[in-house]
């Protein structure tokens, strides 16, 4: 079973790294215990606690996992298909003196908050979904699907490789507005150049300033509507 975060979707990988860093700054040290999983690994994990240990170990052998003893044959997951299989989830464990522990009541940094709940809160602040909110609570689990459902993931859809920040979106909108302004100036310049030609060679008496004023309003309206729709 993989534990390296490089196997994760880029957004999840980035948030996992930030979670580890933010928790370390609080005196909470994490290790990743599971990242990307194969379907075979998930099937073997789901069988634990539901099938006899010999069946479980047969499935674990297919998945390339080590055998477990009878006392370890307990339920470890409630998911037949997991978000882990798409590289969109990871599990962590808090460590105490370098060894992982799963004691949900410990407060190793002595700030009045149970450590696993504190880690969950930090993960949620980074935009991750925390398993501590699930019906079957999983304090060690974090995921991000970009809003996609399990059905959509199974159908082959995947979230974008990057999440654009609000600043980037605002810059894009401003670029489109500037483009609209430049287009408006271009079209008005063409109209301004054509009117004298029409007046001179075809005998028209078109008032330049009046036409440009009206055309400016019309062109600006059309372009602004186009820009607004694209934005």
CA-CA-CA-CA torsion sign (103, 109, 113, 117): negative
**How many whole angstroms separate alpha carbon 159 and alpha carbon 153?**
9
Other CB atoms within 10 A of residue 67 CB: 12
Q: What is the pTM of this model?
A: 0.70
Q: 219 CB contacts (<8 Å, ≥6 apart)?
A: 184, 187, 188
Each residue's pLDDT, cut to its tens digit, for the chain (231 residues) gives 899 999 999 999 999 999 999 999 999 999 999 999 999 999 999 999 999 999 999 999 999 999 999 999 999 999 999 999 999 999 999 999 989 999 999 999 999 999 999 999 999 999 999 999 999 999 999 999 999 999 999 999 999 988 765 444 444 555 555 555 556 666 666 766 766 766 676 666 767 566 556 655 565 656 556 544 444
Backbone dihedral angles phi then psi of residue 99, each to the nearest 5 degrees: -105, 140
CATH of segment(s) 5-37+82-154 = 3.30.1380.10
Task: Locate the domains of the chain by residue range.
Answer: 5-37+82-154, 166-230
Among candidate residues 10, 39, 16, 35, the one with its CA nearest the CA of residue 146: 10
């Amino acid at each position: 079973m993989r534990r390296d975060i490089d196997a994760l979707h880029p957004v999840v990988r980035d948030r996992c790294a930030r979670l580890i860093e933010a928790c370390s700054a609080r005196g909470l040290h994490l290790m990743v215990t599971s990242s990307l999983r194969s379907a075979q690994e998930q099937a073997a994990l789901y069988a634990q606690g539901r099938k006899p240990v010999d069946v479980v170990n047969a499935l674990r052998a297919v998945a390339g996992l080590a055998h477990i003893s009878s006392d370890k044959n307990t339920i470890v997951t409630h998911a037949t298909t997991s978000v882990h299989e798409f590289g969109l989830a990871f599990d962590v464990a808090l460590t105490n003196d370098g060894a992982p522990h799963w004691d949900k009541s410990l407060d190793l940094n002595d700030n009045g908050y149970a450590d696993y709940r504190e880690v969950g809160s930090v993960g949620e602040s980074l935009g991750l979904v925390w398993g501590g909110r699930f019906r079957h609570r999983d304090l060690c689990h974090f995921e991000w699907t970009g809003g996609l459902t399990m059905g959509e993931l199974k159908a082959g859809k995947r979230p974008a490789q990057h999440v654009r920040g609000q600043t980037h979106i605002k810059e894009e909108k401003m670029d489109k507005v500037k483009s609209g302004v430049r287009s408006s100036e271009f079209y008005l310049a063409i109209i301004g150049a054509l009117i004298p030609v029409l007046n001179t060679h075809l005998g028209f008496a078109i008032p330049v300033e009046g036409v440009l004023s009206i055309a400016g309003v019309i062109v600006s309206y059309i372009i602004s509507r186009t820009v607004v729709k694209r934005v």
